Amino acid sequence: MAIIEIRSLTKTFGKIRAVRGIDLTIEKGEIFGLLGPNGAGKTTTIGMLCTIIRPTSGSGIIAGFDIAKHPTQVRQNVGIVFQDPTLDTILTGRENLQLHARLYGIPAQDRSRWIEEMLELVDLTQRADDLTKTYSGGMRRRLELARGLLHRPAVLFLDEPTLGLDPQTRARTWEYIRKMAQKERTTVVLTTHYMEEAQLMCDRIGIIDAGQIIALDTPGNMIDMLGGDIVAVKSPNPPLDIIRALPYVSAIKTVGETIEITMKSAHLHLAELLSLIDNVVSVEIRKPTLNDVFIRLTGRDIRQEDVENNGSWVETIARYRQRGK
């Protein structure tokens, strides 16, 4: 059953066409990754779905409510965990959740029980009455996840949920996200610049570039689309035209003196391939990843500077608003 339905959604800021007619359906309980390079339009798309930005045209339906016509009802059905910390650090973990429960109008008879359930879900019961300023970065992120899910939203939006966390804490955070999605049947829509995490955690992925969805599928299917393994050969003068014409070669990318060759059944054809190349310095064979798909489709890698330059949803939306409606 679809929980999010987007039809011909567009947004322009003056002469800037940030989003150009997106069509997308996301199912209930799905973990969906929206990936794209800096300036691709994912921030604007998320902003419209959260009712922070009003669409120029098209429609978006969340849990049966139109994002333009029924913004209040949409907000009641979504939770948001921003990239930047938004907890009140002079309150305890429990007090942060109590404040959120009151703001969202959770009935008084349900508040304590729901708060306890969320604290248990993210393993913070023992620290619930400590000030959040004493929490580690990972604990604060877990509390924000619990807060975003506290009012039982149909959709939880996550902006870079593990950015800046150490690898162990990142892995545990993903465990909590998966557990919450399964336990509450909550649809999770996330952005991340960690391609390996998106590959492992997302049921489906949409890659957005220049304001349009250019690929939509499961991570596995996207990787299979590349057509084989990647063989990286370092050589000063490889015969590119000859290699490109080989029937088992589907793509070539040159990086300095290294050529990355995507080829089917690399183990069967490697000897023939290398016989065509003089002065081979090194050879590496690896399975393709989601990052390879991303580069193939957009021509760009997602790098850390993209995150730093782009900022959080809130910062980007504020910049758009300063430009004018």
Residue ranges of domains in the chain? 2-77+153-222+301-323, 227-287
pLDDT of residue 12: 95
Helix axes 93-103, 108-121, angle to 10 degrees: 140
Q: Which two tokens stand for residue 271?
A: 């000897």
Helix axes 137-150, 108-121, angle to 10 degrees: 140
CA 153/CA 74 separation, integer angstroms: 10
* Fold exhibited by the domain 227-287: Alpha-Beta Plaits (3.30.70)
Task: Please state which architecture CATH assigns to domain 2-77+153-222+301-323.
Answer: 3-Layer(aba) Sandwich (3.40)
From 106, 85, 105, 87, select the one nearest 95 (Cα to Cα). Answer: 87
Q: Which residue has the tokens 């508040």?
A: 111
CA 265/CA 52 separation, integer angstroms: 48
Q: Assess contact for 276 and 192: CB atoms under 8 A.
A: no
pLDDT block averages, 10 residues each, the chain of length 325: 94 93 95 90 91 95 96 93 86 96 92 92 92 92 88 89 78 80 85 87 94 95 90 93 94 90 92 94 93 86 46 45 44
Q: Which residue has the tokens 């080829």?
A: 263
Could you tell me the CA-to-CA distances from 47 to 11, 181, 249, 283, 311 in Å, in that order?
10, 21, 41, 45, 14
pLDDT of residue 300: 65
Q: Which two tokens stand for residue 252?
A: 């070539």
Q: Which two tokens stand for residue 190?
A: 């996330």
Could you tell me the CA-to-CA distances from 166 to 33, 88, 131, 158, 174 in Å, in that order?
21, 23, 22, 18, 12
CA 295/CA 302 separation, integer angstroms: 8
CA 285/CA 279 separation, integer angstroms: 18
Q: Which residue has the tokens 């069967």?
A: 268
CA 17/CA 10 separation, integer angstroms: 8
pLDDT of residue 303: 47
From 259, 262, 268, select the one nearest 250 (Cα to Cα). Answer: 262
Structural element, H or E, at residue 149: helix 137-150
CA 62/CA 154 separation, integer angstroms: 8
Positive or negative, the CA dihedral 269, 272, 277, 283 is positive
CA 66/CA 51 separation, integer angstroms: 10
